[in-house]
Amino acid sequence: MALVAGMRVGSRVLFRPWAWLPGAALGRKESAARGRVGARGFGSQRVLVEPDPAAGIAVMKLKSPPVNSLSLELLTEFVISLEKLENDKTFRGIILTSDCPGVFSAGLDLMEMCGKNPAHYAEYWKAVQELWLRLYLSNLVLIAAINGACPAGGCLISLTCDYRVLADNPKYVIGLNETLLGIVAPFWFKDTLVNTIGHRTSERALQLGILFPPAEALQVGMVDKVVPEDQVQSTALSVMAQWLSIPDHARQLTKNMMRKATADRLVKQRDSDIQNFVGFISRDSIQKSLQVYLGKLRQKKG
């Protein structure tokens, strides 16, 4: 099992994502994570942050080409940027979008889940859990400006947001398609979906691994608005203005009231969830399914 540093916030022990960064970078990253953001853009190699302090918002762009798959590095940088904005009182909202043309995020990085050892799987899964907890319980208004395909873990990230705007392009499908890979969406993925689209629709969507095109995504409530591609950002900004017109305190308490029970289910069993993941993903049959799926993705080009 990998050694992962933790820090206590209230009653929760939070994972410190920068704890495994190389020694030289650690001091700089840690102090940067605690500093104020200011008006200039910041970010890291894989997460661009464009702050607008006057408006109290920041646009966060995932930039891990080609498909923003959620590698350990991307998860780490994502959490650091999120924490930095969360800790700076200037900011009340984040628009989350992609810098990779045509893809919001391809979901979890399959390379992190194939052919690695149990310690790696544990470390990886802890980072996935941490990102979900941070996003799901964020005090900030989070709006997903979904400007590309949004399968599996990508969809999960968008589902943690308070509002989803999807670009109207038939290629930009969204959903939890885990079963198509021969894997099972964990209970907290399922809970996040059920909280968004309801039990019956989730049951069908999860079992069949449905990736919804925009009109259907809107119809089932997977997204809140579908707009022409060139209006995704401006729509997200105007939706943000509406959400920010609500007093923060009342909105935050309401959000917490709606989401806490779901988040607590994972918080109470993080370790066993990690063990379940490690056991599941290490199975030969699952490794084989993932390899076959990766092979198909690669063949698509040939």
Ligand X SMILES: CCCCCCCC/C=C\CC(=O)SCCNC(=O)CCNC(=O)[C@H](O)C(C)(C)COP(=O)(O)OP(=O)(O)OC[C@H]1O[C@@H](n2cnc3c(N)ncnc32)[C@H](O)[C@@H]1OP(=O)(O)O
Q: What angle do CA 291, 292, 296 make, to 5 degrees?
A: 115
Residue among 37, 47, 67, 131 that touches ligand X (CB under 6 A): 67
Structure-derived torsion over alpha carbons of residues 125, 253, 196, 61, reported in degrees to the nearest 10: -60
Residue 130, token pair as written in the block: 């941490």
User: How distant is the alpha carbon of residue 264 from its chain centre?
Assistant: 18
Question: Which CA distances in Å does 100 have to 13, 66, 87, 212, 298?
Answer: 33, 7, 27, 20, 18
Judged by beta carbon, residue 106 or residue 140, the one nearer ligand X is 106
The CB-of-299 to ligand X minimum distance in angstroms stands at 9
The CB-of-123 to ligand X minimum distance in angstroms stands at 15
- Give me the count of residues in the chain: 302
The CB-of-199 to ligand X minimum distance in angstroms stands at 20
Residue 144 φ then ψ, to 5°: -90, 120
DSSP 8-class letter at 283? S
The CB-of-219 to ligand X minimum distance in angstroms stands at 21
DSSP 8-class letter at 156? H
Q: Which of residues 82-141 bind ligand X (CB under 6 A)?
A: 102-103, 106-111
Give the integer Cα–Cα distance in Å for 96 and 146: 8
Judged by beta carbon, residue 102 or residue 118, the one nearer ligand X is 102
Nearest to 148 by CA among 158, 139, 140, 136: 158
Judged by beta carbon, residue 177 or residue 235, the one nearer ligand X is 177
Judged by beta carbon, residue 109 or residue 123, the one nearer ligand X is 109
Residue 191 as a binder of ligand X (CB under 6 A): the answer is no
Catalytic residue among 73, 77, 123, 178: 178
Catalytic residue among 21, 62, 74, 108: 108
Q: Are residues 67 and 60 in contact, defined by beta-carbon separation less than 8 angstroms?
A: no
- Does the active-site annotation cover 62? no
Residue 66 as a binder of ligand X (CB under 6 A): the answer is yes
Give the integer Cα–Cα distance in Å for 223 and 174: 9
Nearest to 18 by CA among 94, 95, 62, 78: 78
The CB-of-223 to ligand X minimum distance in angstroms stands at 17
Catalytic residue among 142, 177, 193, 290: 177
The CB-of-69 to ligand X minimum distance in angstroms stands at 4
Residue in this structure with the two tokens 């605690």, named with its chain if needed = 34
Q: Which of residues 148-187 bind ligand X (CB under 6 A)?
A: 149, 151-153, 177-178, 181, 183-186
Judged by beta carbon, residue 91 or residue 125, the one nearer ligand X is 125
Judged by beta carbon, residue 33 or residue 294, the one nearer ligand X is 294
Residue 69 as a binder of ligand X (CB under 6 A): the answer is yes
Query: What proportions of the chain, in percent to the nearest 5, are helix, strand and coil?
Result: 50, 20, 30
Judged by beta carbon, residue 53 or residue 102, the one nearer ligand X is 102
Residue 243 as a binder of ligand X (CB under 6 A): the answer is no
Residue 213 as a binder of ligand X (CB under 6 A): the answer is no
Give the integer Cα–Cα distance in Å for 20 and 3: 9
The CB-of-169 to ligand X minimum distance in angstroms stands at 12
- Does the active-site annotation cover 153? yes
Residue 199 φ then ψ, to 5°: -70, -50
Q: Which helix (H) or strand (E) holds 103?
A: strand 102-103
Catalytic residues: 108, 153, 177-178
Residues near ligand X (CB under 6 A): 66-67, 69, 102-103, 106-111, 149, 151-153, 177-178, 181, 183-186, 276-277, 280-281, 297-298, 300-301
